[in-house]
Structure 1
Amino acid sequence: MTAFEHLPKTIYAIQHLAFEDLGSLEDVFYQLGFRVRYFEAGIDDLTKAYQYEGLTIILGGPIGVYETEDYPFLQQEIDLLKVRLDKNLPTLGICLGAQLIAHALGARVYAGHAKEIGWSALQLRLVKDNPLLPLANTQVLHWHGDTFDLPENATLLASSSVYSNQAFQVGKNILALQFHIEVASDTLEKWLIGHTCELRKANIEISKLRADNQNFGHHLEPIAAIVVNNFIQHIKL
């Protein structure tokens, strides 16, 4: 019996933007014997993904969880997520995905005081069995303007110099990461192209972001694999 036989062998991933995919984690899941199926928010019916008893990953995007009037599919997504979390089904949220988890758990999600875009190390919290400990002294990619309050019954795992709530966990099955652990160093150029309006409006130096990716991205990828491996090993169905 392998360490992952307790989990269904397909990972469901919900995308909110075509080029924000599982990145380096996709190969990790393949190497562990999983398949990957993507769902496109706003286009596909997400019911199956949110009712799935295996691991569902909610990926990032440039919209806010509070923009349900402009993006009505978000409300259905939030309603489905509330049921999923109430059932304690295995769920990983990244960036917007983390914000959706926080909102579905009753916490406030709102525009932050500053854009946090760039590479920097996390301030890891000294809590028991923190799954992010392998990221100590490792630069990760931050790319967000919204932030959230810590949900009730959640354990804070990490902070940054800009925002105190960067990651939290609820039990062993629910993990929310505000930062981008999944970014693949060889495909970040898609982000630089796709988010050019945001980057220029925020006065982000694109050449520096690209150079930092070359310096830090390859180091992050194997550590991200360890973090995700540890997380799914401890999932309890």
Structure 2
Amino acid sequence: MKALKNLMITIAIIFLVILLYVFIQPFHIFVNSMVKALTSGNIIEVKEYIKSFGVWAPVISFLAMIVQSLAAPIPAFLITFSNAAIFGWLWGAVLSWCSSMAGAVICFLLARGFGRVFVEKMNGNGPVKDMEKFFEKHGKYAILIARLLPFISFDIVSYVAGITSISFWSFFIATGIGQLPATIIYSIAGNFLVGGMKYFVIGLSLIFALSVLIYWSRKMYNEKQVKLKDNE
């Protein structure tokens, strides 16, 4: 009953947004300008777009991160870099982390409400099946590892997790922990913008190394548990 209620609320919100986009001209222009800036691939353009809203810039950045979460082709690091350049690396990181968490939760709930068909249409059949098997096998640890790996789409992790048996809070905690290192590193790099690429590359290397360490530690632990059971 609760799942049906959440699904109905989600459908109502989506329908309302569509109506606003179609019939309210200022909202239509606002959405189009945001999508244009985010899909430009230009950090400076994204930064100037967010900055142009003045005191409302944090709110616009928050909304932009959610839009990015729902639309996989849009790279999140553009917003994270821009937040750091505008608000400083610390507050930029806080804003980026909170907004990316909100986006992840929305994707998770959409997947849980609309089911597999919706997720496969959003991400493709093949990637969803492969990732679903990995998640079902390793649970919340798989979410943590996937969040640490920079080359895995942030959005597909949230969508696929929503159709698995992983609980919401396991997903939320693993996402929060796994997303934190990347957010901090991207924010530090974004704070330097021009010279930040060095920090960016170093950061990616550290994140990858950490994810591998967690994966192998978990694997060795599982193998040890199996051996102990066999010896009993």
TM-score by length of 1: 0.29
Q: Could you say which structure has the larger radius of gyration?
A: 2
More helix by share: 2
TM-score by length of 2: 0.29
